[in-house]
Chain A
Amino acid sequence: MDGSRAGGGSGGDYISSLLNSSPMLDFGVLGGAPALDGAGDCLDRFCGDPGFAERAARLSSFNGQRFASGLLGMPPPAPGAEFGGGSREASSVSDPGSAMKDANAKKRKAPAAKGKAKDPSVSTSGQAGEQSESDAKRCKAGDAEKKVTTAVKPKAEQTGSDSSVEDGEQKKGKGKNGKPVEPPKDYVHVRARRGQATDSHSLAERVRRERISQRMKFLQDLVPGCNKVIGKALMLDEIINYVQSLQRQVEFLSMKLATVNPLDFSNLPTLLHKDMFQACGPSASSVFSLESSSSAFPFSDQGDVFQSFVPNSMESQCTLNQLDLALSQTTNAQYGFQDGTASTNLQQQVRNYWEDDLQSVFHVDNGQSHDNGASAESFHGDLQAGQMKMEF
């Protein structure tokens, strides 16, 4: 199932890194000085509008941090590469127009290739006429600077969220996307729609919708078999089915575990002692070689390592020596494993779960749990233990 592993921390870190990484993906790449110089050139060419820089600054301060690299780092290579020499000679008005058209064509998923192929030929011939036509199409509010800002927007960074936004709209099927050529007013990672650009509410809603569609994409990667499905409703359906099937598997497996043997933990210390006395064969080094011989980390295999335990029960029982030493020093219910404090915290949570339900009369345990809770809080500031203590 989870065959390949990405190196790194826990699942929570992974997911937050996933969510944070995608908009920032290209920023580091083109942050160098040459890009900035190129950006300066392009800006000079593109901006017929003197107030552009000021308006750009205002718009981008809406989402502050990603502004600089996003704005200056991204655009120049793409438009420069696309246009070649031809469009540079055109007027500043037509340049943003073709840049926009090119950008829009690039962003469409389906006609992307077609758009790119078309554009060079288009831009060289009959530019002016087409520019005016497309300008007329796009110009509802008739803001020149808005067109310019779209030209300078970071393209590569947006393609990920672009397509997701396109998806979101197509999925939702709302009627906003009336025009065929639609210049989303990007700035750093907030895109304002035409006609509602500066409305804070709609911008916030755009942000929210983008976030949702981004998360849907991640879920699509997580849930197997979701790649073919397009559409929010169908994907949600798949996700729900998957979660339910996983939960059913947990139930089934727990039933299986329950059938195998009685849950009898009362003779744990004796069990361990018996194991210890029975066999103290080869030393722990053989256990190490056993481990290294197994292909991977024990539980990343599909239970293969457990196979190796069976014929080598002697060795593993020998290692139980060390475990039992730790055990004998703690109380019955607390297993001090070698990575001590963290596991104690988690065990503490588990203990809290059960003991409060018990309304335990074991004052010793409660006292200990309080102590451990205090130490846990000092160790992990925001860990659950503290909150759970409050709830009592």
Chain B
Amino acid sequence: MQGPSTKSFRQAFLENLLVSLQLQQEHTSKHDSSSVGAAMSLHERKLAVKSSADVAMAAARGAGARWTRAILAPASSACKVQRCRRIVIRCRGRKRSLTTRSARAGDGGTSSGGEIARRLVSRRTMALREVIPGGRDAAVDEATLLREAMDYVVHLRAQVDVLRQVSEAVQRSGSSILQVLIRGLVAYVKKRET
């Protein structure tokens, strides 16, 4: 199966990953002053890498899609606002689930094939909204959601590929992530020149 060309995206993603990891490092070391350079737990490190990767992906994608804003936006707010936002989202999610539940309950015996199909489709559309970043927004209609999903899938796949190659290289060479990333980027740049 063929996919679109994501070369420039991959390069941008790599660069951003480098920057993002380093900034994440700065962030954590500054926040808890007691543990400067101390090893975070594995879970924390994983979260750091994952969020760096997501931010890097969103930044590398540029301004063309909604999901990038959804990924990049929450970090710019304070913690309290974030909590509020989470609450709002949960409420919205609960409201939606309530409506679907009531629709299901009030159905009675009159459920033709078409209605069942429609219900399935709507439930899955909602599930898709949960999965795609930025899909929870009520302003996103179905067509836009599908397009966002397409875009997100393409770039997510590229992200997975890059991350896998980086981790393989790190394992193979035994050097640090940093060296691997830098070498990879230098290779990219060289390749671009030729």
Chain A residues with CB under 8 Å of chain B are: 1-12, 14-16, 19, 171-175, 208, 211-212, 215-216, 218-219, 221-224, 231-233, 236-237, 239-240, 242-244, 246-247, 249-251, 253-266, 268, 271-272, 275, 287-288, 291-292, 297-300, 302-303, 305-307, 309-310, 313, 316, 319-320, 323, 333-335, 337-339, 342-343, 346-347, 349-359, 380, 382-384, 387-388, 391-392
Contact = CB atoms under 8 A, between A and B. Distances in A.
Contacts of A303: 164-165, 168-169
Interface in B46-96: 46, 48-50, 53-56, 59-65, 68-69, 72-73, 75-78
A264 to B, nearest CB: 7
A291 B190 contact: yes
A221 B1 contact: yes
A262 B28 CA distance: 13
Contact of B12 (A255, A298, A343, A351): A343
Contacts of B26: 265, 333, 354
Given A307-B172, A309-B169, A354-B23, A11 B59 contact: no
Given A254-B46, A354-B27, A337 B128 contact: no
B52 to A, nearest CB: 8
A264 B9 contact: no
B140 to A, nearest CB: 13
Main secondary structure of the interface of A (DSSP, over half): helix
Contacts of B149: 219, 239, 243
Contact of A271 (B2, B45, B132, B179): B179
B50 to A, nearest CB: 4
A246 B146 contact: no
B26 to A, nearest CB: 7
Contact of A319 (B27, B39, B186): B186
Contacts of B182: 272, 320, 323
Nearest to B38: A262
Contacts of A239: 128, 149, 153
Interface of B: 1-10, 12, 14-16, 18-27, 29-31, 37, 39, 42, 45-46, 48-50, 53-56, 59-65, 68-69, 72-73, 75-78, 112-114, 117-118, 120-121, 124-125, 127-128, 131-132, 142-143, 146-147, 149-173, 175-180, 182-194
Contacts of A255: 42, 46, 49
Given A12-B64, A236-B121, A350 B59 contact: yes
Given A240-B127, A309-B173, A351-B19, A358 B27 contact: yes
Given A255-B42, A260-B171, A309-B169, A246 B8 contact: no
A69 to B, nearest CB: 25
A337 B147 contact: no
Contacts of A2: 2-3, 6, 157-158, 161
A347 B15 contact: yes
Nearest to A272: B182
Contacts of B155: 11
A30 to B, nearest CB: 27
A251 B163 CA distance: 10
B7 A353 contact: no
Contact of B161 (A291, A299, A350, A388): A299
B47 to A, nearest CB: 8
Contact of B9 (A11, A271, A275, A334): A11
Contacts of B160: 1, 246, 249-250, 253
A237 B189 contact: no
A263 B5 CA distance: 30
Contacts, number: 336
A309 B156 contact: no
B111 to A, nearest CB: 12
24 contacts: A2-B158, A3-B2, A231-B117, A247-B156, A251-B50, A254-B163, A257-B163, A257-B170, A263-B21, A266-B37, A268-B178, A291-B187, A298-B184, A303-B168, A310-B173, A320-B186, A337-B189, A346-B60, A347-B16, A350-B23, A351-B23, A353-B72, A380-B63, A384-B62
Given A172-B114, A172-B117, A257-B167, A346 B4 contact: no
B176 to A, nearest CB: 5
A377 to B, nearest CB: 12
Contacts of B78: 359
Contact of B53 (A7, A250, A268, A347): A250
Nearest to B22: A265
Contact of A306 (B30, B184, B191, B192): B184
A172 B117 CA distance: 7
Contacts of A260: 167, 170-171, 177
Contacts of B73: 391
Contacts of B191: 291, 297-298
Contacts of B30: 358
A57 B12 CA distance: 48
A380 B167 CA distance: 33
A309 B180 CA distance: 9
Nearest to B156: A246
Given A266-B25, A299-B162, A384 B68 contact: yes
Contacts of B124: 233, 236-237, 240
A303 B168 CA distance: 7
A316 B16 CA distance: 21
A276 B20 CA distance: 24
